[in-house]
Amino acid sequence: MKTINKKGLWFYGLSGSGKSYASKIVTKRKKKSFLIDGDYVRKFISKDLGYTLRDRKIQIRRVLGIVRISLKSNLFPIVSTVYMDRYVAKNLRKLKINLIKLYK
């Protein structure tokens, strides 16, 4: 799989839009990839968070932290989350992570 000058992918969109499906396909094709599913982060790391806007912002900042760790480990992060905000999107551009919105 060719991703010109990109160091990772972040899919976001509503539930049922195909984020997890797309992430799994790319993970199978991309060497040294690391799948970061927002549902798993919520289950294993963000147990303290609910689904308010404030909690969603905290959640994606935690996911961003995991992305940074994976980049330091020379891995290609492939992320799927429901929510996205400007702060994280701006940081993803700096990190050369391709942000992709999926629609139902």
Q: What pTM was estimated for this model as a whole?
A: 0.91
> 53 is written with which tokens?
């806007």
Contacts of 60-63 spanning 24+ positions with Cβ under 8 A = 60/84, 60/85, 60/88, 61/87, 61/88, 63/36, 63/38
Residue range 89-100: mean pLDDT, rounded: 97
pLDDT greater than 80 at residue 1: no
pLDDT, residue 62, reads 98
CB atoms near residue 50 (< 10 Å): 10
CA 2 to chain centroid, in Å, comes to 19
Residue 104: what pLDDT?
A: 80
Percent of the chain with pLDDT over 70: 96
Outline where DSSP puts E strands in 1-104. Answer: 8-12, 33-37, 76-81, 97-101
pLDDT at 3 over 70: no
